[in-house]
Amino acid sequence: MASPSPLLQPPPSSPDPSQHCTIKLPLSFPKKPQTPLFLFVLFLAISSAAAFVFLLSSSSSSASSISPEIHVGSPRARALAKLRRPVVLVVSCDGFRFGYQFKTPTPNIHRLVANGTEAETGLIPVFPSLTFPNHYAIATGLYPASHGIINNYFVDPVSGERFTPSNHDPKWWLGEPLWETVADHGLNAATYFWPGSEVVKGNWTCPPRFCPKYNASVPFEQRVDTVLSYFDLPQNEIPVFINLYFEDPDKQGHQVGPDDPKITKAVVRVDEMIGRLIQGLEERGIFEDVTFILLGDHGMVGTCDKKTIFLDDLAPWIRIPESWVTYYYPVLSILPPTSVSYSEMVAKMNAGLASGKVENGDYLRMYLKEDLPGRLHYSDSSRIPPIVGLVDEGFSVEQARTNNKECAGAHGYDNALFSMRTIFVAHGPQFQRGRKIPSFVNIEIYNLITSILKLKGAPNNGSASFPNSVLLPSA
Ligand SMILES: *[C@@H]1O[C@H](CO)[C@@H](O)[C@H](O)[C@H]1NC(C)=O
Ligand SMILES: *[C@@H]1O[C@H](CO)[C@@H](O)[C@H](O)[C@H]1NC(C)=O
Ligand SMILES: *[C@@H]1O[C@H](CO)[C@@H](O)[C@H](O)[C@H]1NC(C)=O
Ligand SMILES: *[C@@H]1O[C@H](CO)[C@@H](O)[C@H](O)[C@H]1NC(C)=O
Ligand SMILES: [Zn+2]
Ion ligand 5 neighbours, Cβ < 5 Å? 6, 94-95, 131, 250, 297
- DSSP class of 47: H
The DSSP secondary structure of 149-174, one letter per residue, reads: --SSSEE-TTT-PEE-TT---TTT--
| Contact by Cβ (8 Å): 126, 413 | no
Which ligand has an atom closest to residue 447 CA? Answer: 4
pLDDT value at 36 more than 50: no
Q: How far apart are CA 168 and CA 198, in angstroms?
A: 6
pLDDT value at 20 more than 60: no
Q: How far apart are CA 10 and CA 384, in angstroms?
A: 27
Residue-wise burial string across 423-452, b where 16 or more C-beta atoms lie within 10 A, e elsewhere: bbbbbbbbbbebbbbeebbbbbbbbbbbbb
| Contact by Cβ (8 Å): 155, 387 | no
Q: How far apart are CA 215 and CA 228, in angstroms?
A: 19
Question: What pLDDT score does 28 carry?
Answer: 31
Which helix (H) or strand (E) segment is 43 a member of?
Answer: helix 36-60
pLDDT value at 63 more than 70: no
pLDDT value at 1 more than 80: no
| 164 catalytic residue (yes or no) | no
Closest-lying ligand 1 atom to the alpha carbon of residue 115: 1
Q: In the chain, what are the domains?
A: 87-300+415-470 (3.40.720.10), 305-406 (3.30.1360.180)
Question: What pLDDT score does 259 carry?
Answer: 96
3 state DSSP class of 23:
coil
3 state DSSP class of 118:
strand
Q: How far apart are CA 133 and CA 441, in angstroms?
A: 13
Question: What pLDDT score does 402 carry?
Answer: 83
Confidence bin at 72 (pLDDT 50/70/90): low
pTM of the model: 0.86
Count CA atoms closer than 13 A to 263's CA, side-chain side. 26
pLDDT digits (tens, 9 = 90+) for 396-431: 999 999 876 678 999 999 999 999 999 999 999 999
pLDDT value at 156 more than 70: yes
From atom 10 of ligand 1, which residue's Cα is the shortest distance away? 115
Cβ-based burial of 418 (10 A; exposed 0-12, middle 13-18, buried ≥19): middle
Higher-scoring residue by pLDDT: 58, 262: 262
Calculate the alpha carbon distances from 462 to 321, 440, 447, 453 in Å: 39, 10, 7, 16
**Does any ligand 3 atom lie closer than 6 A to the CB of residue 215?**
yes
Count CA atoms closer than 13 A to 150's CA, side-chain side. 26
